[in-house]
Amino acid sequence: PQGARVWIPDHLEVWRAAEITRGYREGDAVLHLCLEDGSVRLELYSPVGPSRAPHILPPLCNPDCLSGANDLVALSHLHEPAVLHS
């Protein structure tokens, strides 16, 4: 959904936080993103649909209140970027 925070792959930082800036629907070919620092706007050109969603959609960021959690089990979303940035 629009406004959701996600992790996107990055060549230098491995994963970068971004925000979805426009809503998308099943079958849309573009996912509009804005990097967390606000300086760069990205568009991910990947089909988004139910058969591909788990592999194409970027992983969700955890809420800010869980940032720096000592116990990874406490994280809402446990995936590679969450572990690297906790």
Q: Is the pTM of this model over 0.75?
A: no
Q: Check residue 25 and give its pLDDT.
A: 77
Contact (CB, 8 A) for 56 and 48: yes
**Interval 14-63: pLDDT, tens:** 999 999 988 877 777 778 888 878 866 666 655 555 555 445 678 887 77
**Residue 9 domain boundaries:** 5-84
Number of domains in the chain: 1
DSSP secondary structure string for all residues of 11-38: TTTEEEEEEE-S---TT-SEEEEEETTS
